[in-house]
Amino acid sequence: MNADRPSMHKNIIRLLPEEGTKRPRRVRQTAAVRKLVIRLLPGIDDHLRAETRRRGDLSSMIIEAINAFDLERVRLVDLSSETNIPTTTVALPKSIHAALKALAKTRATSMNVLVNTAVAHWLAGKNIIRLL
């Protein structure tokens, strides 16, 4: 085996640079993105996570769902009967986060309900879930 090339072994550990050399810079969250901690209904969460295994990431699908519906007029989902729902953190563009926050105040509800509503209607439009 050539000593100049790293081995093809799977158990390779990378070392930090020598003292005096600069370390790679950490990537920071940009000011254009806001993180939102939400609690997705179990049926919604299951379907979204199944979709993310096939394509894309959770945040991009939630953004697509939010943009697909007029959240000022659609019927809201009922989260009152759900307890102990695990949290999920999504990254939203600052503009969508601000719009959700303002709309939540206008509709006297939470941003969490709005996100669940958007995703529920989005999944219903794809005939994945049924809304009652």
Question: What pTM was computed for the model?
Answer: 0.72
Indicate the DSSP class of residue 1: -
| Whether 37 contacts 89, CB under 8 Å | yes
Average pLDDT, the chain: 81
Q: Can you give the residue ranges of every domain in the chain?
A: 33-125
Task: State the average pLDDT over residues 10-30.
Answer: 57
Question: Which is more confident, 22 or 64?
Answer: 64
The two tokens of residue 93 are: 């563009």
What's residue 55's pLDDT? 56
The two tokens of residue 99 are: 């719009």
Q: Cα separation of 89 and 97, whole Å?
A: 13
3-class SS at 37? strand
Element (H, E) at 88: strand 88-93
What's residue 25's pLDDT? 52
Using a pLDDT cut of 90, give the percent of the chain over it.
39
Is residue 113 very low, low, confident or very high in pLDDT (cuts 50, 70, 90)? very high
| Whether 39 contacts 85, CB under 8 Å | yes
What's residue 8's pLDDT? 52
- Report whether pLDDT(9) > 60: no
The half-sphere exposure of 50 on its side-chain side, counting CA atoms within 13 A, is 8
Question: Which is more confident, 113 or 31?
Answer: 113
Question: Which is more confident, 22 or 42?
Answer: 42
Cα 77 versus chain centre, distance: 19
Q: Which residues pair with 88 in a beta bridge?
A: 38
Q: Cα separation of 52 and 119, whole Å?
A: 14
